[in-house]
Amino acid sequence: MNDIIDPKVVSDPKVISDPKTDLLARTLAASLAGEHVADIVETLNDQDAETATAVLLALPFERAVEVLDQPEFTAAAAALALFPDERTSAFLGAMSADRVTDLIDEVDEPVRARLLRHLDSETHAAVIRLLSYPEHSAGSLMTTEFVSVPSDWTVAATLDHIRHVERSRETVYAIYVLDGVGGALLHAVPLRRLISGDPMAAIATLAPEHKPLTVTPEVDREDVARLISKYNLLAVPVVDAAGHVIGIVTVDDVIDAMIAETTEDVQKLGGMEALDEPYNQIGFLSMIRKRAGWLSVLLVGEMLTASAMQVYEAELEKAIVLALFIPLIMSSGGNSGSQATSLIIRALALREVSLRDWWRVALRELPTGLTLGAILGAIGIVRIVAWQKLGLYDYGPHWMLVAATIGATLVCIVTFGSLTGSMLPFVLKRLGFDPASASAPFVATLVDVTGLVIYFGVAAAILTGTLL
């Protein structure tokens, strides 16, 4: 994202002075002021960074902060770099600490140092702490702006507090009740309970019976999403070892994380590294890097098929008819493997099966693969018999044996593909890799070499003495 910042401008930040840009910015700002923040972001994303910055300066301050707080606003870092010094400080102070952290994480020096210099000491400390959490963890997703009150406060006092801080909190729909002495989290009270509660009652009396659900800052975003989705939460508190709330992850951050996670998984399933940027924004060289790696690895793996074929060259020369069916047989193995692997990747992601269920899955895929293989084998045999009988092609005097070879090979290879495809995600997960890396191309390559060995093995068993 750094390439959106013009280093010339960054090194000498100043207000935009071009009168044409200025007029356009004022007009845009006036027409946008009443729009939904997501729509303002969409419009500004279509403008160049200078215009977007000028519009932000022309918007009411609070609206501009709202825009800057949206992760979808692509020119935020550029705008902060273009603002005059005093505005940069004001905006950084008003923005949410987690968004500021993301932006600082995004930019390179010297912009980074300049932004850090403009932070007040409290935000500076928060940003440094937030920067320390690993990517995709609850700590990196969380916001530090939440509502917490001591457990001896009344409902009325709590509501009054919410009224005062509402504007500066990302969500007020869950109130975290803390131990008056140690400050540890005791309860999470939904706002809806507060509204129907007795104003004079202690806030703790409204708490649900069960303990509040929490995560530690290291928890992966996938697990946070699972928790929020399972318990239908609007936010989940992130607590440190002492039980203090250090932030919350809200449902809209989780939705964004889920979408990013799905994008990553689909790209991995397609046999490539996950892109970090949208398809229409990533640079040519980054794109090549993300795709060439796996393609090359798979090509090198697939070279084993050439070696395997060399071993069977004598058989091929004797019975060239066997070569005709190589693509068909190998693709069937790959396709059945691809089905099984996608099924298991998803079942693992949804926790429908766990690592120790591998043998249960194997016991399931064995009869499934055999049945699917039998269906495909039957189709293969019908094809050869039909072509022979209809005179479309002559498979030679031993055509029935050729048909039997293809049929039997399909049964074996589809069974083998289903088993290999279903076990691969378990193996990857056990080894600490993302099961979604078990892409269709990866499985197909694994199955291809063995597929050739199976094919020529079956052919030898059936055709020796006749064709071979």
Smaller CB separation from its own copies, 195 or 241: 195
Amino acid at 363: L
Q: Residue 220 CB: number of other CB atoms within 10 A?
A: 17
Rounded to a whole number of angstroms, the minimum distance from the CB of residue 289 to its own copies is 11
326 is a site residue for its own copies (CB under 8 A): yes
DSSP string, 49-71: HHHHHHHHHHS-HHHHHHHHT-T
Smaller CB separation from its own copies, 19 or 278: 278
Contact pick of 325, 358, 416, 426 for its own copies (by CB under 8 A)? 325
Q: For residue 9, what are the CA distances in angstroms to 13, 82, 340?
A: 6, 7, 53
Judged by CB under 8 A, the stretch of 14-22, 84-92, 214-222, 335-343 that binds its own copies is: 335-343
30 is a site residue for its own copies (CB under 8 A): no
315 is a site residue for its own copies (CB under 8 A): no
Q: Residue 16 CB: number of other CB atoms within 10 A?
A: 18
Contact pick of 137, 405, 415, 439 for its own copies (by CB under 8 A)? 439
306 is a site residue for its own copies (CB under 8 A): yes
**What torsion do the CA atoms of 218, 223, 228, 230 make, to the nearest 10 degrees?**
-150
| Cross-strand pairs, 149 | 177
Smaller CB separation from its own copies, 15 or 375: 375
Rounded to a whole number of angstroms, the minimum distance from the CB of residue 235 to its own copies is 11
Contact pick of 94, 287, 362, 404 for its own copies (by CB under 8 A)? 287
Smaller CB separation from its own copies, 231 or 433: 231
User: What is the rounded CA–CA span in Å between residue 247 and residue 216?
Assistant: 10
Site string for its own copies, 31-60 (x = CB under 8 A): --xxxx-xx---------------------
User: What is the rounded CA–CA span in Å between residue 146 and residue 126?
Assistant: 14
Smaller CB separation from its own copies, 360 or 430: 360
444 is a site residue for its own copies (CB under 8 A): yes
371 is a site residue for its own copies (CB under 8 A): yes
Smaller CB separation from its own copies, 11 or 281: 281
Contact pick of 1, 157, 272, 385 for its own copies (by CB under 8 A)? 272
Sign of CA dihedral 310, 311, 317, 320: negative
Site string for its own copies, 224-253 (x = CB under 8 A): -x--xxxxx-x----------------xx-
Structural contact between residues 172 and 160, judged by C-beta atoms closer than 8 angstroms: no
Sort strands 174-178 and 147-150 into parallel, antiparallel or unpaired. Answer: parallel
User: What is the rounded CA–CA span in Å between residue 21 and residue 48?
Assistant: 10
265 is a site residue for its own copies (CB under 8 A): yes
147 contact partners, CB below 8 Å, separation of at least 6: 161, 162, 165, 169, 172, 174, 175, 176
> Hey, which residues between 155 and 174 contact its own copies (CB under 8 A)?
159, 162-163, 166-167, 172-173
441 is a site residue for its own copies (CB under 8 A): yes
Q: Comparing C-alpha atoms, which of 420, 441, 436 is closest to residue 295?
A: 441
Rounded to a whole number of angstroms, the minimum distance from the CB of residue 425 to its own copies is 11
266 is a site residue for its own copies (CB under 8 A): yes
Cis amide leading into 367 (omega within 30)? no
> Hey, which residues between 197 and 226 contact its own copies (CB under 8 A)?
208-210, 213, 225
Tokens read off for 322: 């066997």
324 is a site residue for its own copies (CB under 8 A): yes
Amino acid at 446: L
278 is a site residue for its own copies (CB under 8 A): yes
Rounded to a whole number of angstroms, the minimum distance from the CB of residue 248 to its own copies is 14
DSSP string, 381-422: HHHHHHHHHTTS----TTHHHHHHHHHHHHHHHHHHHHHHHH
Site residue total, its own copies (CB under 8 A): 117
330 is a site residue for its own copies (CB under 8 A): yes
Smaller CB separation from its own copies, 83 or 312: 312
> Hey, which residues between 375 and 414 contact its own copies (CB under 8 A)?
375-376, 379-380, 383, 393, 410, 414
Contact pick of 299, 355, 363, 461 for its own copies (by CB under 8 A)? 299
Structural contact between residues 135 and 152, judged by C-beta atoms closer than 8 angstroms: no
Structural contact between residues 204 and 212, judged by C-beta atoms closer than 8 angstroms: no
372 is a site residue for its own copies (CB under 8 A): yes
